[in-house]
Structure 1
Amino acid sequence: MIKLDRFDGNNFARWQDKMIFLLTALTIYYILDPDLLPIEEPVPNDDGTQPSAEAIDKVIKEKKKRAEDELLCRGHIPNTLSDRLYDLFTEMKSAREIWTALEFKYKAEEEGTIWTLKWLIQSPCWNKSMNCKS
């Protein structure tokens, strides 16, 4: 079993990579794919007859597996969050909705921090030998 440290709002990229690994190992990462297509209902045959029992059973099994995988994914993501973040994101209905919200909030923050650090390092004020005036 894989145990992750709880995500508290810091090091999002590291937490996300570990979470992707966990969900991939559990073969449920596909649930977070924004291009995941819905399971198609069985269609009548070309001759107009109803779909076969096998085709109907196949769709029922696929839907059941998808629902179980969604539930597992929906459970694993919040359970790796700190209590504060768990309370914020637990009201969301789907795993993909939680994942997208976390990415939106914390990726933007990390990218903003990285951009700020790059700017500071390139800034003349970063060099202590220079006399910097505000």
Structure 2
Amino acid sequence: MDQQFMTVNGVVPKYSEKPKKFKGLNFKRWQHKILFFLTTMNLAYIVKEEAPKSNENPMMKETVMAIEAWNHYEFCYRNYILNSLDDNLYDIYSMCKTANELWESLEKKYKIDDASSNKFVISKFLKYTMMASKSVISRVEEIQKLIYELHSKGWEINEHFQVKVIIEKLPTS
């Protein structure tokens, strides 16, 4: 159970920086960063594996050590996540008793928020109208920002479709 550091030519790689505190926005990005950080700390397996259990009476020394190690790593994992949350979120999620419960609670809440955010960006893009009072260049830049926002949310838009939308959105004048 004891996690060993992986070495390359006998050198232990440096750990990544701890991600900035999660404030409730861009969950998917934060989730990837915190998973990478926890992987470099040899803790990411905690949410992927089951805790060791003992069915034996009396427990063997190795089993007791494995359970103690698991509990230690699970404690570290839970607290790394909690400490990477903004103080307001920390207060809410510190009630979770295990790392798995904490991780699943965050996913349940913020993946739904990300989905509604995607819906909002798509709606903004579809309803966008160009104002005749602005220059053509600034109007095209506005729609390109919306397209970039869609790309950043994982929505791929065909280039021909983008051009047709921009042309359609141009005022008739």
Higher relative contact order (CA 8 A, sep 6+): 1
Structure 1 ranges of 4+ moved more than 3 A: none
Indicate the residue corresponding to 1:58 in structure 2: 62
Residue 130 (structure 1) shift: 7.2
- 1:31/1:67 CA distance change after superposition, 3 Å: same
**Number of matched pairs:** 118
Question: Is 1:32–1:96's contact at 8 Å kept on the other side of the alignment?
Answer: yes
- 2:19 is equivalent to residue 4 of structure 1: yes
Partner SS, residue 91 of structure 1 = coil
1:87 aligned to 2:87? no
CA RMSD of superposed structures (Å): 2.2
Counterpart CA distance in 1 for 2:122 and 2:81 is 31
Q: How does 1:1-134 map to 2 (within 5 A)?
A: 2-33=17-48, 36-41=49-54, 56-121=60-125, 123=126, 125-128=127-130, 129=169
Gaps of 5+ in 2: 1-14, 131-168
Structure having the higher Rg:
2
Contact kept? 2:18, 2:34, Cα under 8 Å = no
Q: TM-score when scaled to structure 1?
A: 0.76
Deviation for aligned residue 1:119: 3.6
**Aligned partners of 2:129 and 2:117: how far apart in 1?**
20
Structure 2 contact 51–67 (Cα < 8 Å) conserved: no
Distance 2:120 2:69 in 1: 44
How far apart, in 1, do the equivalents of 2:23 and 2:51 lie?
Answer: 33
